Structure 1
Amino acid sequence: MTDFTFQINNDVKWQYNNYFLDKAKNNKPVLQRAIVKPSRLVDIVADKTKFNGWSAQNDSRDLLKLDTYALGRNDSVILDFGNHHVGYFKVDLQHVGSPMDAPTYLHIKFAELPAELMGNSDEYDGWLSKSWIAEEYIHLDVVPTTLVLPRRYAFRYVQISVIDTSAKYKITLANPELTAVSAVLNKKVLKPLGLDDPVLQKIDDVSQKTLQDSMQDVYEDGPKRDHRLWLGDLRLQALANYATFDDRQLVKRSLYLFAGMPTTDGRLAANVFTEPEIVADDTFLFDYSLFFVSTLHDYYQHTRDVEVRNDLYDTAKKAIDVGLSFVNSAGVLSLDDRYPVFVEWSNTIDKTAAAQAILIYALKQFITLSEAQKLPVETYKNQLKQLIDAAKTYYFDAKEGLFVSGPERQINIASQVWMVLAGVLNSEQNYELMAKSKIKLFPITGIATPYMYHHVVEALFIAGHQTDAIQLIKDYWGGMIALGADTFWEAFDPNQPDFSPYGSVMVNSYSHAWSCTPSYLLRKYVMKLAV
């Protein structure tokens, strides 16, 4: 489904804005911490109903007697911490038997799902770095000791395996614990869902946990792997955050980070690194850059923070102007390989029409920001009209009643959804567009991320197909829960549950920020219906 190529742009010239970066630094959160103890010992057993055919079942051993179990060569225990957490692990070790005449050699694996513990990293063949697989090989020359692992992990399960001690001694384990961290670890959701539907309530709970675990020093896309701030993820995380924890500081910090590191030609990096220092990545995505405008617009609509709007308006303007520079005289967006559009993890979907709609979507939001700044917008309104007219002229197939995309006039769900979100058609036309989409394009195929499913669901709500939108939330996000999810995943194709955009599920993220949006969707659209 994907064939990703890393972007390496060595000729990028950056324009650092220390005023903005200082504001980002001043909004860095103090992470909240909590000590979490394991709830039980488990075995991983075959289970066709769970992800990749494995589930965690109670071990015959008792967690309360953990320090009585002597472990030697090839022995292991699996600790279950009861839910997904992001944090730091430690455990006490004692040796039993004769004096310690050789090092203790351990293999420790961390897993978000039971199936991960059954994978063999020696067999990994994906294209992301193998170093992301969450495991450690550790020699201990002296026991007793307290093993404190310095790395932060995202996990529920920890498997501690003894590769070897010696024939003379064994070890025991005691006091395992993790220190969980998050910017909103102990913050209560401001607006409980309050719907009399246990399935939607469970989906909301898991959405909140997914969001909470991604809220660290920045809005991380996935705490298991990148630990990076991505613009596309940020937009959705911020919306979910406003509906739940309403932690405005972290959104503000994230906006200033992107605004503090544009290129000299006005482009914004798709993501930024924060360790060991703040650095913009040399990866650029057309739609992600525009989503800076969207995130600023949404932040201002929610907070009415005039200072942030005034500070970051020019950054938004440059992002829009760069986007518009790719529009030809007919009002048609024409991108090249130097500035790809993401839309979804797929190279089989033509993204031309969706990209045109995303530019329309962001331009409308920019015009709203400009009007709030009391700045002239006539030129931008004329460009908006031209883009909308071109979308209808070149992409709408009146015979099909659907939007087409690319030279092959492909009909795909992304084109229809983004045209609805961008408001290219009126309300009645949107209803008909999504009605025909359901006939032609449902059940959905070729889409494998909650990121794109979010947009499908929101388009259904906006177009007036509320029942279908709610059912899709239940089917898609509920499908992950049925497979054992404590948090929602980076990628999930119901027709191919073991799909990975990276060529191996060993590096998939099973707690990923762009998956948390049911909390937003349910509060914005479903709670209104229930009133």
Structure 2
Amino acid sequence: MVLNLHTPKIALLLLTFTALISSSVKAQDPYQAYRQDWLKKAEENKPRLTEIEKQPVSMVKLEKDPAAFQGWKAVNTDSVSSFYSKSFKTQSGAVADFGEHLTGYFSFTIKSLKGTPDAPVRIKFTFGEVPSELTVPFDPYKGTISRAWLQDETVTVTEMPATITIPRRLACRFVKMELLGASPYFDFQIADIQFKATTAVAFKPPLLGPATSPLIADIDRVGLTTLKECMQTVYEDGPKRDRRLWIGDLYLESLANLYSYQNNNLTKRCFYLLAGLSADDGMLISNVFETPEPHAQVGNRLLDYCFLFNVALKEYVAATDDKQTGLDLWPVAKKQLDIARKYAGKDGMMDYVKAGKEWWVFFDWKDGLDKQACLQGLTIYTLNQTYALAKMLGKEDEVSDVPALARKLKNAAYKNLYDKTSGLFVSGTNKQISYGGQAWMILSGVASKTEAQGALKALASVKDAVRPGAPYMYHYYVAALIESGLKTEAKEAVENYWGGMIKKGADTFWEVYDPNDELKSPYNFYPVNSYCHAWSCTPVYFIRKYPEIFQR
């Protein structure tokens, strides 16, 4: 039997069925009534970027130096005015140094010096945040993320004089210029190199106390620069690479911002964007893009970032008393708690194996890190922080089960993960000991203050303890030191780790830093690392929130 789909009756039935299915799908979206308003508020809080014209401060050459970061350093060679006055043909490979990290748009002027331009000129520009980016060949590319993130651009100029602006937004301190092709019958020069630097930051934060040590002051200065460069029309995770809003970076940037630039509208914008672009099941997507129109990286679900949205929102409401934003976004925070309810076993332990199969569970760029203890601790922390948010908003009745669930998970963590013999928290079937595991057991309140201090002090004697792989996890380690009352150790940790980057010439703090492996890269090619990265800016938060620790 063959149905005639063109008969009015059959067509009507199909339309009705389709409408019912569509209605059912839409009914599953818990935020359907809110999304447009959230995205509207995100747009209303979009900052107007400040723009400053910057010129290079000197010309440099790049020299090998085993003592320099990644084996390369920049050495001053000539003035910029001298470079402008000479034939570019005799200066191919020249490197201009802006003297600071900049994010924005690069332009240059090219004009004939001798003869008549009878053919195009082709120049390759390479932009580097650190010197090694200009010295390591990009090809053949062996990285695990897009080759297109690397900042090299070839420009062909067909007429001169001309002023050219590279349309791609860039992030760099150094610019290398190489001649790829030109006619032998005329000569030309490059002049008026400029960089239109952009940021959402409009003012300088208060000065530190007069007793602050020079090293801490330098760490704060570089941290502020890192934060400033990442504060664009959203909190970007890195202005060179990724260039979008990630929840984990939002949390740490918003903390630093609260104690420095205080651009709270930018924080609000980010919250509303993430909420408005969340998945139809109510769970947050780990990251979102702004252009050509706001959209999420569909399918990129990161469990710990969903939890950190709640923590960031609670911290924001507590600091600003902006309860309206908290109330607007409360449905999102409340919904994320379903993750804890789903994976919490009857024994009170989070099923991290199942969670790891169904979600990306991150915590750190560290191969081999067992994440059971981290997940257990973060879940407890999130439950408690979300309940605190509920109390601020008068919504505690909607999450009345949360305190009991948090206690259950806390008791189970202490029972199953605390080794009373060693005084350390373990993780997974192999009883792994890690800095991250200790940090999250302490921040969640599983450890008493005495146990917390004992665990953190004992770490130094554990040879195979898994150390943080990036400044991201190192933040939580420092936070745990402060929470446990180890103030001197917290200051020393900041001085040694972020101070280590300062001593290696950092203008901004890096995405990945291992003092024992400067070439470490999660992407199998270190030039594609981000050398100005949002999650590295948090010394600003520590130094300014705890002046009694860091400014004396």
TM bracket, shorter-chain basis: over 0.9
Q: Secondary structure of the equivalent of 2:384?
A: helix
Out of 249, 272, 276, the position equivalent to 1:233 is: 249
In the TM superposition, what whole-angstrom CA distance separates every residue of 1:245-272 from its partner, at most 9, and x where no partner exists? 1110000000111111222322101111
Out of 61, 68, 71, the position equivalent to 1:43 is: 61
Out of 398, 411, 431, the position equivalent to 2:420 is: 398
Q: For 1:201 and 1:149, how far apart are their aligned partners in 2?
A: 35
In the TM superposition, what whole-angstrom CA distance separates every residue of 1:290-331 from its partner, at most 9, and x where no partner exists? 011001000011001010111111110001122321111111
2:364 is equivalent to residue 344 of structure 1: yes
Matches within 5 A, 1:470-485: 470-485=491-506
Give the partner amino acid of 1:393. Answer: K
Give the partner amino acid of 2:333. Answer: A
Q: CA deviation at 1:170?
A: 2.3
Out of 383, 388, 391, the position equivalent to 1:363 is: 383
Q: Secondary structure of the equivalent of 2:88?
A: coil
Does structure 2 retain, via aligned residues, the 8 Å contact 1:350–1:405?
yes
In the TM superposition, what whole-angstrom CA distance separates every residue of 1:400-452 from its partner, at most 9, and x where no partner exists? 2111111112111111111111111222222222122233269x754321001
Give the partner amino acid of 1:423. Answer: G
2:480 is equivalent to residue 428 of structure 1: no
Paired residue for 1:417? 439
Paired residue for 1:63? 80
Q: For 1:530 and 1:28, how far apart are their aligned partners in 2?
A: 34
Out of 78, 89, 92, the position equivalent to 1:75 is: 92
Matches within 5 A, 1:91-490: 91-184=108-201, 186-190=202-206, 192=208, 194-281=210-297, 282-334=299-351, 335-374=355-394, 375-376=396-397, 377-440=399-462, 446-490=467-511
Shift in CA distance, 337/347, structure 1 to aligned 2, threshold 3 Å: farther
Q: CA deviation at 1:525?
A: 2.7
Give the partner amino acid of 2:230. Answer: S
Shift in CA distance, 140/460, structure 1 to aligned 2, threshold 3 Å: same
2:531 is equivalent to residue 510 of structure 1: yes
Shift in CA distance, 24/193, structure 1 to aligned 2, threshold 3 Å: farther
The TM-score, its normalising length taken from structure 2, stands at 0.91
Does structure 1 retain, via aligned residues, the 8 Å contact 2:110–2:163?
yes
In the TM superposition, what whole-angstrom CA distance separates every residue of 1:456-513 from its partner, at most 9, and x where no partner exists? 1111121122222111111111111222210000001111011001000121000000
Paired residue for 1:4? none
Q: CA deviation at 1:526?
A: 4.1
Q: For 1:114 and 1:424, how far apart are their aligned partners in 2?
A: 44
Out of 52, 74, 77, the position equivalent to 1:34 is: 52
Q: For 1:83 and 1:49, how far apart are their aligned partners in 2?
A: 21
Between stretches 327-336 and 231-240, larger displacement belongs to: 327-336
Does structure 2 retain, via aligned residues, the 8 Å contact 1:73–1:165?
no
Does structure 1 retain, via aligned residues, the 8 Å contact 2:333–2:386?
yes
Give the partner amino acid of 2:37. Answer: Y
Q: For 1:471 and 1:412, how far apart are their aligned partners in 2?
A: 19
Q: For 1:193 and 1:274, how far apart are their aligned partners in 2?
A: 38
Shift in CA distance, 148/457, structure 1 to aligned 2, threshold 3 Å: same
Shift in CA distance, 247/367, structure 1 to aligned 2, threshold 3 Å: same
Q: Secondary structure of the equivalent of 1:348?
A: coil
Between stretches 360-369 and 118-127, larger displacement belongs to: 118-127
In the TM superposition, what whole-angstrom CA distance separates every residue of 1:14-44 from its partner, at most 9, and x where no partner exists? 7661111111010000001111111111111
Q: Secondary structure of the equivalent of 1:90?
A: strand
In the TM superposition, what whole-angstrom CA distance separates every residue of 1:56-89 from its partner, at most 9, and x where no partner exists? 1111x32122322102287232111010010111
Does structure 1 retain, via aligned residues, the 8 Å contact 2:487–2:549?
no
Larger RCO (CA under 8 A, 6+ residues apart):
1
How many residues in Structure 1 have an aligned counterpart in Structure 2? 518
Does structure 2 retain, via aligned residues, the 8 Å contact 1:290–1:323?
no
Q: Secondary structure of the equivalent of 1:96?
A: strand
Give unpaired runs (5+ residues) of structure 1: 1-10
Does structure 2 retain, via aligned residues, the 8 Å contact 1:412–1:441?
no
Q: For 1:280 and 1:530, how far apart are their aligned partners in 2?
A: 40
Residue identity (%): 36
Does structure 1 retain, via aligned residues, the 8 Å contact 2:212–2:551?
no
Q: CA deviation at 1:347?
A: 3.1
Give the partner amino acid of 1:466. Answer: K
Give the partner amino acid of 2:499. Answer: G
Does structure 2 retain, via aligned residues, the 8 Å contact 1:50–1:482?
no
2:70 is equivalent to residue 52 of structure 1: yes
In the TM superposition, what whole-angstrom CA distance separates every residue of 1:112-152 from its partner, at most 9, and x where no partner exists? 01111101111321111000110101111112110111111
Q: For 2:364 and 2:356, how far apart are their aligned partners in 1?
A: 17
Q: CA deviation at 1:164?
A: 1.8
Q: Secondary structure of the equivalent of 1:151?
A: coil
Q: For 1:327 and 1:93, how far apart are their aligned partners in 2?
A: 64
Q: For 1:24 and 1:194, how far apart are their aligned partners in 2?
A: 39
Give the partner amino acid of 2:72. Answer: W
Does structure 2 retain, via aligned residues, the 8 Å contact 1:195–1:201?
no
Q: CA deviation at 1:194?
A: 4.2
Q: For 1:163 and 1:341, how far apart are their aligned partners in 2?
A: 45
Q: For 2:469 and 2:122, how far apart are their aligned partners in 1?
A: 40
Q: For 2:440 and 2:324, how far apart are their aligned partners in 1?
A: 31
Q: Secondary structure of the equivalent of 2:81?
A: helix
Give the partner amino acid of 1:54. Answer: W
Between stretches 351-360 and 518-527, larger displacement belongs to: 518-527
Out of 506, 521, 524, the position equivalent to 1:500 is: 521
Shift in CA distance, 323/195, structure 1 to aligned 2, threshold 3 Å: farther
Give unpaired runs (5+ residues) of structure 2: 1-24
Does structure 2 retain, via aligned residues, the 8 Å contact 1:88–1:151?
yes
Query: Over alpha carbons, which structure has the higher Rg?
Result: 2
Q: Secondary structure of the equivalent of 1:263?
A: coil
Shift in CA distance, 179/529, structure 1 to aligned 2, threshold 3 Å: closer
Q: For 1:227 and 1:244, how far apart are their aligned partners in 2?
A: 22
Shift in CA distance, 530/215, structure 1 to aligned 2, threshold 3 Å: closer
Q: For 1:209 and 1:94, how far apart are their aligned partners in 2?
A: 35
Q: For 1:482 and 1:191, how far apart are their aligned partners in 2?
A: 22
